[in-house]
Structure 1
Amino acid sequence: MFFINAHRTTVMSALFACEEPAAWRRVYEKYWEVVEAKSKAKKPGKLLNLEKWYHEELPALISGRSDKHVNLSELVKLMEWKLTRGKFRPRLQQLVASNGEETVEECSRKAFSLLPDVQAAIAELSSLKGVGPATASAVLAAGAPAQTAFMSDEAMESIPGLKPIQYTAKHYALFLDKMVERTKKLNKVDPQQDWTPHRLELCLWAMTIAAQQQLPFVKDVDVKERGADSDTDQRPTKRIKTR
């Protein structure tokens, strides 16, 4: 169970502060279970199909090209995935679809070539219509998961010090810095050393949605916060019941 400060910390931020790889891995192993639960709560099967496409098909398509890039249809589908997974903003779908095919390919090709300068890559992709730092980060995370992470609301809300959320390049830089730092710390103590910023985002998203959906596995994840990594005060803690 989670023992956390009821005034300053949530179940999700407790996970981010956790230094135990085993706790993170238990959440990661439940990712698809959480996706299925959320998919049933919305249009049955839609989110699940989009998730499989984004995590399995799209990365293979991008990495299989001599010069990494996405095309217009992929960018449109990625936006559909993003809006289905999080907050629905139909206007963005229309704007993204209005981009030219050659423009999308050239812009995304240049963005991937700019890595590891993530901020330059984000700026390049953000020149496309309907694409801001969050969508740009989703494109990069699909093709470079070891260097980037999707700027999801759920992940950002799980990290102390990032509220209120701002959909800016500067805020994404703060977010990614914290994700990279946590990734390095987990890999330092985990023999498998397979953590990436992208994988951490999946865990934070899953933990947030699982708590919202009141999935039973939440109570079985033992999260222990440690000193400086926890952005909490020293007032008495309160057990938050999970069902």
Structure 2
Amino acid sequence: MLKRSMENFLKDLDFRVWGLVFGYYDKSIAVKASKMKPDKKKSLVELDNWYQNQLPMIIKGRKPKHVTQEELCKLMKWKLTRGKFRPRLTEMVATNSEEDVKNASVKAFQALPDISSAIQALTVLKAVGPATASAVLAAGAPKHGAFMADESMQALPGLQVIKYDLPFYKEYMKEVTKIVKHLNKEDPEKCWDPHKVELTLWTYQIAKVLDTDLYNSISEAIESNNNDDHPPKKKLKT
């Protein structure tokens, strides 16, 4: 029964249920961090707080929008700490000049809502592929881009063979955008954007793969929510 309620999360796309799962994001980060060595555990929590809460406000306050070379390096550290750690990338991204990083990121943000052009503007930088570029866009323009987090992509049915290239990112964004539109159609607050959907998918996948207790807690909360007196939601066409 618990497993079914978690499956309903992806099938029924009830905005109340998705909002509930999104609310467990901080706990899912804590779960991810608990599997790491003490030094990396502290680093992940601090870096994620910076990326999710501080960096977006910093970018928003700039005209034109852009990131600095130091921020790009810190973002790369966050990405590799939260995902697969490849130290060579941190060395390579640091070789980009301040001018090049600013120019590329200004061009990327100005290219939106053309997500392909925005990604391509950033991938001229050394060590910046579509995944890192998507992290920059998700931080500075969450209404237009979702980060290519492995767990978020793995959670989506039909995206099982992950590729870190632009065509795959466009497919990923296509699926994320479907969910955004569906949730906002039902949610009176219309508060869903690609980045929020990506974080919710990440939370779901982390609980499912890494922590049975968290998985069951979310599943029980979803089951309780599903039992509330409200009409069933239409399933998303795929």
TM-score, length of structure 1 as denominator length: 0.86
SS of the residue aligned with 1:194?
coil
Q: CA RMSD in A?
A: 2.0
Q: How does 1:43-122 map to 2 (within 5 A)?
A: 43-122=40-119
SS of the residue aligned with 1:161?
coil
- Aligned identity (percent) is 42
* Structure 1 residue 186 corresponds to structure 2 residue 183: yes
Cα distance between partner residues in 1 of 2:8 and 2:101? 39
The count of aligned residue pairs is 224
Partner of 2:229: none
> What is the CA distance between 1:138 and its match in structure 2?
0.3
Partner of 1:237: none
In terms of fraction of residues, the more helix-rich structure is: 2
> What is the CA distance between 1:22 and its match in structure 2?
1.2
Partner of 2:222: 222
TM-score, length of structure 2 as denominator length: 0.88
Q: Residue type of the partner of 2:185?
A: K
> What is the CA distance between 1:166 and its match in structure 2?
0.5
Gaps of 5+ in 1: 5-10, 232-243
Partner of 1:37: 31
> What is the CA distance between 1:208 and its match in structure 2?
1.1
Question: Do the aligned residues in 2 keep the contact of 1:67 with 1:109 (CA within 8 Å)?
Answer: yes
TM superposition outliers: structure 1 runs of 4+ over 2 Å: 13-18, 221-231
Q: Residue type of the partner of 1:66?
A: K
Partner of 1:7: none
Gaps of 5+ in 2: 227-231
Q: What whole-Å deviation, never above 9, does each CA across 1:131-163 have from its counterpart, x for those lacking one?
A: 111100000000100111001111111111112
Question: Do the aligned residues in 1 keep the contact of 2:135 with 2:148 (CA within 8 Å)?
Answer: yes
Cα distance between partner residues in 2 of 1:72 and 1:188? 39
Q: Residue type of the partner of 1:31?
A: Y
Cα distance between partner residues in 2 of 1:87 and 1:213? 19
